[in-house]
Amino acid sequence: MERRTYSARPADIKRQWFVVDAEGKTLGRLASAIAATLRGKNKAMYTPHIDTGDFVIVLNAGKIKVTGAKETQKFYYSHSNYPGGLKKTSLKDLRQRHPERIIENAVRGMLPRTTLGEQQLKKLKIYTGGEHPHQAQNPVDLALDDTATR
């Protein structure tokens, strides 16, 4: 009997839409569950070089929880490629100005740094409030582990 490795084809992929409420969830635990869903690692047909993942809608991004003193001690850096162009933003400031970027940055760091990773990140939809415009896709609640609500 000959066994062959299964490799998903783009035509075989059926994408689902998931919705998750980020209120009170720990940032890293939520981001890892979202990244696995975007990559398709929760499916039996997972293939590393093909985008087999699903869409994820995140609500209440501004109400995400962080542990310890990360609110004031965690910083996000960006550089303009000019001398002296390094900018440093704390998590507290980012939460006030662009709370959706907190989750986006955490998930981006857990995806591959390739064009495939960029393609998977485009399936992430983040909203600061409790409403989203994707009702027509009939999103289902994303099942998180018990550890995600600590």
We report the CATH number of the domain holding residue 57 as 3.90.1180.10
Does residue 47 belong to any structural domain of this protein?
yes
Q: Count other C-beta atoms under 10 Å from residue 94's C-beta.
A: 17
pLDDT value of residue 6: 87
- DSSP secondary structure, 89-121, as one string: EEHHHHHHH-THHHHHHHHHTTS-SSHHHHHHH
Does residue 126 belong to any structural domain of this protein?
yes
Does residue 40 belong to any structural domain of this protein?
yes
Does residue 146 belong to any structural domain of this protein?
no
Name the phi and psi angles at 96, rounded to 5: -75, -40
- Write out residues in the chain with pLDDT < 70, as ranges: 146-150
pLDDT in tens, 85-111: 999 999 999 999 999 999 999 999 999
- Strand-strand pairing, 75-79 and 86-90: antiparallel
pLDDT value of residue 147: 53
Does residue 46 belong to any structural domain of this protein?
yes
CA dihedral 65, 68, 103, 127 (to 10 degrees): 30
| CB distance 53 to 18 below 8 Å | no
- 55: containing domain: 16-66+99-136
pTM score: 0.91
Does residue 32 belong to any structural domain of this protein?
yes
Number of domains in the chain: 1
Does residue 85 belong to any structural domain of this protein?
no
